[in-house]
Amino acid sequence: MIQYFKNVWSGLSSTFLGMYITFKHLFVKKVTIQYPDQRFTLPDNARNRLKLEMERCNGCNSCVVACPVNCITLETVRVSPEDPHQEVHHNGNPRKMWVTRYEIDFAKCCYCGLCTQACPSDAIQHTQEYEYSSYKREDLYYKFQTLSPDQVAEKHRMYAELKAKDKPAKAEGATEEKKAKPEEKKEKEQ
């Protein structure tokens, strides 16, 4: 019989304790925000989606090398001196490389920030945007290139022509060096 009253007292006391806590929090300022309408302010150094400024990118490949999960794909082609569309970087230096392909697979990205630290021109930065979930992985594959496929083909063609012109000149220079080397050896022997 005593056990029965202990159980009744335990049930009532735990119920009243729960109701006391509920009523206490009923009149306190709420900490929950209504998410889609209200958002917390993110710190300035938050590591979220990456943004690339193509006019700042010099195609140095340091972000690709720094990435631990290989989510960045970068392809470049050298600028030909005969190129009529030569650009100037943001710092005033002439462009040496055309970025023909720059892609980031955000499904692989771990948002570590190593690519942003490795970039010498600060072309790649983290943004404050973090809402870009998707149902398909293909939607998380971002392409940042600014050149059209026709322009890419033209840049490759111009660089191939430049290499073809330079090849005979290098071959002539190499034969002249070979001719000069035996003469130098004879002079050293004497």
Is the pTM higher than 0.75? The answer reads no
pLDDT, position 182 = 55
**Which range among 62-71, 99-108, 175-184 shows the weakest confidence by mean pLDDT?**
175-184
Of residues 88 and 10, more confidence is placed in 10
Question: For residues 78 and 99, is the Cβ–Cβ distance under 8 A?
Answer: no
What's the pLDDT score for residue 178?
59
Token couple for 82: 């005969």
**Span 122-159, pLDDT tens digits:** 999 998 888 888 899 899 999 988 888 898 898 888 88
Question: Could you tell me which residues come within 8 angstroms of residue 120 by beta carbon, excluding any fewer than 6 positions away?
Answer: 58, 60, 62
Confidence of residue 83 (pLDDT cuts 50, 70, 90): confident
Residue 170 has pLDDT above 70, yes or no: no
Determine the longest span between alpha carbons in the chain, in angstroms.
Answer: 124
